[in-house]
Structure 1
Amino acid sequence: MKKLSLLLLFTFLWVSCDQKQKKIINKKGLSSEEKIDSTKIKTLFNSALTQSKSYEWLRDLTQNIGGRLSGSPETQKAVEWGKKVMKEVGLDSVWLQPVMVPHWVRGEKEIANYTSNGIKKNVPICALGFSVATPKAGILAEVIEVKSLDEARALGNKMKGKIIFFNRSFDNTLINTFKAYGGCVDQRVRGAAVCGEFGAKGVIVRSMTNSVDDYPHTGIMSYGNLPKEKYIPAAAISSRAANVLSDDLKLNPNLKFHFKQSCKTLPDAPSFNVVGEIKGTETPENIFVVGGHLDSWDLGEGAHDDGTGVVQSLEVAYLFKKNNIKPKNTLRVVFFMNEENGTRGAKKYAELAKLNKENHIGGLESDAGGHTPRGFSIDANSVNTKLLQSWKKLLSPYGLHDLDKGGSGADISPLRGENVTLVGYRPDSQRYFDYHHTSRDTFDKVNKRELELGSASMASIIYLMDKYLYSNTMVKP
């Protein structure tokens, strides 16, 4: 009897300690609901890494269609492709949303050169989007190097008849290369407008990259309010060429630079956003958008910018269907048109959403390349921001440590509102500007596993947003 009592006491103490230990684990670890979410997220990652379709979609888009500059025949092929793959995934409905887009064409391959100390040097160059052409023979003029728009303005009428060379490089001490890009892209966008006002003959700009290489980077520029008679040609030269030219100018300040380009702007052209959706099971009138932009610049294949974003967005819907996840709210996938030189697709989508009185409660955009996932930037009110940041313990096992306030993306930002939660997918940025807007932005530069990890990351945060965001934190209209 005494032995039995001791055994019962031991058993009671063991069970009691075990229960206390479980409570401690639950307190420090995940709640029962979070465990369900953790399992679901693991399933999404497993599916993406073993049954993904994104890489082959990207191969098809980039290698069979290629660069997709707004208004081009390639963009129409991409629209048809987008509609086809959305239907293959089995979305509840798929449609095209008409939009008129700018139609700028590059024309013949650009050329540039100059002679220094009797040596002729050819320069890798490309016209900037919306630039005017040079005369047929090109332009030839002395060069003035500047590092900022303010420095150019200070030259005033000294610019007349000269080519102004903007040579401000990335700040390579910034870990986030998008911040470095933002710190110098104004010279590309506004340089010609500033210099044209004072009678400059042309503008050349150091390419927007943290690398030193021989690949010129195109991108949009604007003449602002400048009268057309003051428009001047604008082009980018490679970063290595910029370094060499800068050194040569120190030795020979009067050297003359020659460049020729034949680009032009045609009348606006008809195009489309491609839209597909999975209807919500509980509140279908509430819409989450996930998307990327279907257009690209024409020099490469538009792989990282933004083919990866397009295929990852569609794979969010594919992974939901593959794992029988039925969203409470409507999940809408959008391939936006004309992000690169006008954002007409984004503006049209937001305009029609307002006209049709659609209730968008959130959005996710992928337009930062297809490299290793790092997290998300959040554009939301303080309550929703804190909610998303509380999911870090669910997302961090997959390398998603960054959940910071910030912008979401050019295509979903027109949907911004007090009770709209917008999120930007943020992969590692260190290699992105090696390829951005260049002939190097091709399919072979995208790593299959990194792409799939991105798809799973996006699907995971959409799963959490759909489950918690509206019911817990948002004010119903």
Structure 2
Amino acid sequence: MKKLIVLIALCLSSQVFSQTDEDVLKQIYKTALVEGKSYSWLETLSIDIGGRLSGSLNAERAVDWGKAELDSLGLDKVWLQPVMVPKWVRGAKEFAYIKAGSGVTTNVNICALGGSVATNPLGVTASVVEVKNFEELEALGEAGVKGKIVFYNRPMQADLINTFSAYGGCVDQRYMGAVEAAKYGAAGVIVRSMTLNIDDLPHAGSMTYEDLPVSKRIPSAAISTKDANLLSTMLKLDTSLQFYFKQNCKQLADVKSYNVIGEITGSQFPNEYIIVGGHLDSWDLGDGSHDDGAGIVQSMEVLRLFKTLKIKPKHSIRVVMFMNEENGLRGATEYAKEAKAKGEKHVVSLESDAGGFTPRGFSFDCTEASFNKILGWKPLFEPYLIHYFIQGGAGADVRPLKTDSNITAGLRPDSQRYFDHHHAANDTFDAVNKRELELGAASMAALVYLFDTHGI
């Protein structure tokens, strides 16, 4: 009888170890699509909790939720990593209008940019100068700018297929616009929203004053693309028009928050780490479903799939829910600092922070030799229409973990609709497709499995 039991065990063991990579990937995709949890997790995070601006009550609730869900997965370790984060509050809804020379006013849609100061209690009214870049601003100089509102109106470049490149080509006006305009005595800044769509939705995002004294800081807001076009057209017809805006935001003292971390400890290399993650915080206009609720639940699903399929990793696999990517990157900085202090070896760090749309592939920041090895796995993904493998940047949260010898990577979904929702009020749960989200989670789990099995 004992011999029979041993024989059966050997047969079962042989079947497990005879599984090919194709077999395992098929199981991963099937499990994610048939019994996945990412979509239901996202529903809770987005609808029950909502927008999660760093330092807010909702961000605190999201931390508690994330830890509880990871605890329920039966991971080897779950913990909170403290981190001090900025606390900026928007206050009452912003209000703005264009006032033509005739005295007729037209209301327009704006939102304060993250980190901006408020206007004075009565708001700011001034004439407007439109510029496309900092060179045009410099050419105007103090004589052309002082006391006026600078209107940055450089759109995203529509002919770039990679919409992240288009975003990168114009985001400097949002981030540095107030600093540059303040040099010439501007009264405020209005920035065209970072989206290719023409709509009524202003898009939030971070901005900076660098080391500008508080007394020199000027209010900065985003205007919807539809209203940016309107303002530009009206300026061409009437250069004497004025713009009024009022915003009530405030920067408070830093507060304590947390990164949420869970781990499956590796069987052979417990001190070598493969991490998956996204950022738990979001802007406050929507509920942060695409940016970056999707990345959070996809990363959680990677570890759940390993547990469900009884995949025992060689390396330790961690999920990290980073706090404060949107307006400070404090969570990523603290995680990398602590990892370095402990001498932790992070061999692969994979981030999902490009929305929950259909996955197309991955980008890898790695050596040529590592990338060539990764390209050998590409045929395994082609049945799932994952074929976009490039050498390039990874996500902002894993960037501080990069060394000369490891790999950082990013999930690359189809990006054509991403900036329709990015940082706007329509970044909501209803904008995420269940199947697309689950395919992304499965793709991440498949890549992590291959890295763990075959190394880098």
Q: Same fold (TM over 0.5)?
A: yes
Q: Is the aligned partner of 1:134 residue 2:119?
A: yes
> Tell me, what secondary structure is at the counterpart of 2:321?
strand
**Percent identity among equivalent residues?**
56
CA distance in 2, matches of 1:50, 1:287: 29
Aligned to 1:350: 336
Aligned to 2:223: 237
The letter for the 1-side match of 2:204 is T
Aligned to 2:383: 397
Aligned to 1:22: none
Q: Give the Å deviation of 1:226.
A: 2.1
CA distance in 1, matches of 2:82, 2:239: 52
8 Å CA contact 1:373–1:453 kept in 2: the answer is yes
> Tell me, what secondary structure is at the counterpart of 2:437?
helix
CA distance in 2, matches of 1:115, 1:140: 9
- Which residue among 119, 131, 135 is the counterpart of 1:146? 131
Q: Give the Å deviation of 1:35.
A: 7.6
CA distance in 1, matches of 2:99, 2:251: 31
The letter for the 2-side match of 1:342 is G
Summarize deviations over 1:191-250 as a string: whole Å, max 9, x none.
Answer: 000001110000000000000000000000011232222110000000000001100000
Q: Give the Å deviation of 1:412.
A: 0.6
- Which residue among 198, 201, 209 is the counterpart of 2:195? 209
Aligned to 1:468: 454
8 Å CA contact 2:99–2:244 kept in 1: the answer is no
Q: Give the Å deviation of 1:114.
A: 1.4
> Tell me, what secondary structure is at the counterpart of 1:41?
helix
C-alpha change, 1:468 and 1:194, in structure 2 (3 Å) is same
Q: Is the aligned partner of 1:98 residue 2:82?
A: yes
Aligned to 1:13: none
- Structure 2: segments with no counterpart, 5+ residues: 1-16
Q: Is the aligned partner of 1:49 residue 2:19?
A: no
Q: Is the aligned partner of 1:411 residue 2:397?
A: yes
Aligned length: 438
Q: Give the Å deviation of 1:388.
A: 1.1
Q: Is the aligned partner of 1:86 residue 2:86?
A: no
With the length of structure 1 as denominator, give the TM-score of the two structures: 0.91
Aligned to 1:310: 296
8 Å CA contact 1:384–1:469 kept in 2: the answer is no
CA distance in 1, matches of 2:136, 2:211: 20
8 Å CA contact 1:368–1:426 kept in 2: the answer is yes
Q: Give the Å deviation of 1:34.
A: 11
CA distance in 1, matches of 2:23, 2:52: 39
The letter for the 2-side match of 1:143 is V
Q: Is the aligned partner of 1:184 residue 2:174?
A: no
With the length of structure 2 as denominator, give the TM-score of the two structures: 0.95
CA distance in 2, matches of 1:163, 1:34: 68
C-alpha change, 1:93 and 1:226, in structure 2 (3 Å) is same
The letter for the 2-side match of 1:94 is V
Aligned to 1:340: 326
CA distance in 2, matches of 1:450, 1:186: 31
Summarize deviations over 1:376-427 as a string: whole Å, max 9, x none.
Answer: 0000111111111221111121111111011111101100001111110000
The letter for the 2-side match of 1:179 is S
Superposition pairs for residues 207-356 of structure 1, below 5 Å? 207-356=193-342
- Structure 1: segments with no counterpart, 5+ residues: 1-32, 471-477
Q: Is the aligned partner of 1:446 residue 2:432?
A: yes
> Tell me, what secondary structure is at the counterpart of 1:417?
coil
> Tell me, what secondary structure is at the counterpart of 1:404?
strand
Q: Is the aligned partner of 1:195 residue 2:181?
A: yes
CA distance in 1, matches of 2:103, 2:314: 71
CA distance in 1, matches of 2:176, 2:290: 25
Q: CA RMSD in A?
A: 1.1
Between structure 1 and structure 2, the one with the greater Rg is 1
